[in-house]
Amino acid sequence: MGKKMLGPKTNEFVENVWLLVLRAGAGAFMMTHGVPKLQKLLAGDLAFADPFGIGSTPSLILAVFAEVFCSALVVLGIATRLATLPLIVTMSVAAFMIHANDPFARKEMAFLYLLIFITILVYGSGKFALGNVIRGK
């Protein structure tokens, strides 16, 4: 068993299951940050950070788009690589701009999400993704 775990070969089935778990977990966890922003937007509370100078309302809309819509696509495995791009941008802005002057502990979660979404961008959705069903794979 130890030789199998530490050896150079990998198990494709386990890799694909792990990509499913990673996608579903990261996307669902990110949605817990996006849904309150969506509720805030729907309630008309448009106060939000404006890191690019485009206005707080467009910034809020873009954050909601990434954290709710793109996260849902990641969970489902539809256009996964494309859907990670707004999430990567959002987490980069959170880590490097919004929390730039905060202690590391405050920006750590944004860095973790950033690493996870970059990993999903690199490896894709895996075999167990709705996008594969849609494309007939």
Instruction: Answer yes or no: is pLDDT of 113 > 60.
Output: yes
DSSP 101: T
Query: Residue 2 corresponds to which tokens in the numbers above?
Result: 């130890």
* Residue 61, φ and ψ in degrees, nearest 5: -60, -45
| Residue 6 confidence class, pLDDT cut points 50, 70, 90 | low
- Give the pLDDT score at 2: 53
| 94 residue type, one letter | A
The alpha carbon dihedral of 88, 90, 94, 98 has a sign of positive
Instruction: Answer yes or no: is pLDDT of 9 > 80.
Output: no
- Give the pLDDT score at 99: 95
Burial 61-85 (b: 16+ CB within 10 A, else e): bbbbbbbbebbbbbbbbbbbeebbe
